[in-house]
Amino acid sequence: MKTRFLIASALAAVSILGTVGAADAQSRNRVSVAQQGYQNDIAGRQTGHRQSMVINQRGERQYVTVIQDGARNGTTVGQNGRYNEAHVDQFGRSNDAVVGQQGYNNYTRNIQTGNRNIVGVSQMGRNNTAVTDQYGSNNAAGVIQVGNGNSANLRQTGSGNVTLIIQGDH
């Protein structure tokens, strides 16, 4: 039941990627940032048009980097806790990434190159690591980690690949 809830939550988060705040009038890139706590850092770059980035951080010493190059790419990251770190790089068109981290010292790095790729990462616990690489088009990747000390490395090349990794206390 927990697994179904996590998957449903990830899909719901993907469906709201278009809801963002401030906009760049020329390229229509959007960025929305909300931070609560202290020593939380964000670094981002969007090149192209109609990119969206939504970042919510609550806690302390959390770090997010987002690089998006192309068109219509979207990234949503939510972090709650301490020492969580998320990196998202997207190159191409219509790629989406959703990351949710809850806990302590979780790490994820996600790279997507191509068109119409989607990745969702949900980490709840401590000391979890998820690394995803997708090269090609129309690929989908999901990583759900519950508990402590889980590690996942996922690489997809080509088109139409789908992978879901579930680890931990589920």
Give the distance between the most distant pair of CA atoms in the chain. Answer: 47
Q: Is the pLDDT of residue 24 over 50?
A: no
Choose among 100, 79, 102: nearest CA to 143. Answer: 100
Q: Which domain range does residue 35 map to?
A: 2-168
Q: Mind listing the pLDDT tens digit for each residue in 114-154?
A: 999 999 999 999 999 999 999 999 999 999 999 999 999 99
**Paired tokens of 82:** 């301490």
Q: What is the CB-side half-sphere exposure of residue 154 using CA atoms within 13 A?
A: 27
Domain count, the chain: 1
The pTM (predicted TM-score) of the whole model is 0.83
Q: Mind listing the pLDDT tens digit for each residue in 86-124?
A: 999 999 999 999 999 999 999 999 999 999 999 999 999
Q: Mind listing the pLDDT tens digit for each residue in 30-55?
A: 999 999 999 999 999 999 999 999 99
